[in-house]
Amino acid sequence: GEDVEQSLFLSVREGDSSVINCTYTDSSSTYLYWYKQEPGAGLQLLTYIFSNMDMKQDQRLTVLLNKKDKHLSLRIADTQTGDSAIYFCAESMGSSASKIIFGSGTRLSIRP
Amino acid sequence: SAVISQKPSRDICQRGTSLTIQCQVDSQVTMMFWYRQQPGQSLTLIATANQGSEATYESGFVIDKFPISRPNLTFSTLTVSNMSPEDSSIYLCSGAGVTEAFFGQGTRLTVV
């Protein structure tokens, strides 16, 4: 069945880059997403990438997609304390943002 | 982007009772979904809310337990019926267009 996997924890020093990795199984996914969830809050869509793209950059965020290996990553440059959150990788099931399958989430913590 | 409002934001309920959660989207969206996020877990899709017809439920979720309505393109409700402590979770509504899916802040439900 469909599955999205990511590591549970990541700790980085403030000012460094954070790289959160994800693997997925459904090769027909058209869209892949990164969501951010801060404590006690809902999900915020950070960015998404279309499956025919290799990279997408948006300010401090860079998404890399390796479709052959079904590997997605999110790089956060100059990580700040406000970036502390859980980051969910997700894939669309099919050709639109219909059903979305989420990974387990990576808890990013920032150390001074 | 769509703004999604959920009510209530949180509730504490007695076991055996039912709670109806409302979801309002500020613009017409193609699809609406309901997810559950159990404590410390990722999101699991409960069902797709179909306008004017019965919702489509995922494996493990049934209409008798989670009746859903969607009377128009911008509004949906989820009822958690005959609650038990195992239903304590965050319930999130999602509205999706072609490329993006947005989430409400969630309803944090505690069943005692």
> Tokens representing A90?
């997700």
Q: Give the mean pLDDT of A8-35.
A: 93
pLDDT tens-digit profile, chain B (112 residues): 788 999 999 999 999 999 999 999 998 888 899 999 998 889 999 999 988 888 999 999 999 999 999 999 999 999 999 999 999 999 999 998 878 889 989 999 999 9
**DSSP secondary structure of A1-65:** ---EEE-SEEEEETTS-EEEEEEE--TT--EEEEEEE-TT--EEEEEEEETT-SEEEETTEEEEE
Closest CA to A55 of A45, A63, A47: A63
pLDDT at A25 over 90: no
Q: What is the pLDDT of residues A39-76, one digit of tens each?
A: 888 899 999 999 889 999 999 999 999 999 999 999 99
Q: Which of residues 22-81 of A touch B (CB under 8 A)?
A: 31, 33, 35, 40-45, 48, 50
Query: Which pLDDT score, from 0 to 100, does residue A12 have?
Result: 97
- Best of A5, A32, A34, A43 to disrupt the B interface by mutation (most B CBs within 10 Å)? A43
Query: Which pLDDT score, from 0 to 100, does residue B100 have?
Result: 86
Q: What is the number of residues in chain A?
A: 112
